[in-house]
Amino acid sequence: MLFLLSPAKSLDYDTPLPAGLPHTLPAFVPQAEQLIAVLRDKSPQEIASLMSISDPLAALNVARYAAWRPRFTADNARQAVMAFNGDVYEGLQAPTLSPDELNWAQQHLAILSGLYGVLRPLDWMQPYRLEMGTRLATSAGANLYQFWGRRIAEHLNQRLAQDITPVVVNLASQEYFKSVDLKTLKARVIECVFEDYKNGQYKIISFYAKRARGLMARYAIQQRVTTPHQLEGFDLEGYAWAPGASTPERLVFRRQAT
């Protein structure tokens, strides 16, 4: 079983890392280098327009592309699960996981990435910004979905090759999950949906849903979840499985109040 997460726009390369934290290298460094080469050809103004970001953010990321190197070291990179700093990762709280829990996460968690394709939690990552939905033209096509093609799904298949009944639990956004070619993927896909009660009805509230995806990943890590049925026990921060609103492929979790 593999759990898929989106990356985060916000990064943290300043907080000290846990002592003795191991690292691995990303699977798609040559492909990332190709994308960096394309990005380096663009001016700060072009980056700002392409990514719909402010001029200061564009300048920051142009500097990141210029500094990026195909050789990863402790000076220019840190483990992905410790570098991402958005709502999902606030829920995951990776720095508080034990070494054994991080090792389990390394085997069962995959972070989708516009630049790196797929990252394991302990893969070293140099800072970047490149959302999967960015219409960055390359020799492979007009956008990153065409650039990555079947590679991401094939990589997930390899990671699931030892599973008798492979399952992918999608905790990523649709923008990122679209990078997984479902015709290539040889696994059952289960989606987790998180709803909060507001104004008389249950609805998906983006901020809470993102945090809940991280909470579900944390729950899976700490409970060593290996079957879809075990997901139904998720109960962090007041959420509970709603069987009446769920299907076997779409598990809905609800809570009354935040």
Tokens of 32: 């990332």
pLDDT score for 121:
98
pLDDT score for 258:
58
Residues 190-206, mean pLDDT to the nearest whole number: 95
Q: pLDDT tens digit string along 59-110?
A: 999 999 999 999 999 999 999 999 999 999 999 999 999 999 999 999 999 9
Mark residue 243 as left, alpha or beta (left: phi above 0; alpha: psi -120 to 50; beta: remaining). alpha
- Assess if residue 55 is contained within a domain: no
Residues 8-35, mean pLDDT to the nearest whole number: 96
- Assess if residue 46 is contained within a domain: no
- Assess if residue 63 is contained within a domain: no
pLDDT score for 39:
98
pTM: 0.96
Is the predicted pLDDT of residue 38 greater than 80, yes or no? yes
pLDDT score for 82:
98
Q: pLDDT tens digit string along 204-233?
A: 999 999 999 999 999 999 999 999 999 999
- Assess if residue 106 is contained within a domain: yes
- Assess if residue 37 is contained within a domain: no
- Assess if residue 57 is contained within a domain: no
Q: pLDDT tens digit string along 119-148?
A: 999 999 999 999 999 999 999 999 999 999
pLDDT score for 202:
96
Is the predicted pLDDT of residue 254 greater than 90, yes or no? yes
Q: Which residues contact 229 (CB under 8 A, 6 or more apart)?
A: none
Tokens of 117: 């394709």
Boundaries of domain holding 85: 2-26+77-255
Residues 155-166, mean pLDDT to the nearest whole number: 96
Query: What's the structural domain count of the chain?
Result: 1
- Assess if residue 64 is contained within a domain: no
- Assess if residue 71 is contained within a domain: no
pLDDT score for 99:
96
Q: For the chain, what is the HEC assignment?
A: CEEEECCCCCECCCCCCCCCCCCECCCCHHHHHHHHHHHHCCCHHHHHHHHCCCHHHHHHHHHHHHHCCCCCCCCCCEEHHHHECCHHHHHHCHHHCCHHHHHHHHHHEEEEECCCEEECCCEEECCCCCCCCCCCCECCECCHHHHHCCHHHHHHHHHCCCCCCCEEEECCCHHHHCCCCCCCCCCEEEEEEEEEEECCEEECCHHHHHHHHHHHHHHHHHHCCCCHHHHCCCCHHHCEECHHHCECCEEEEEECCC
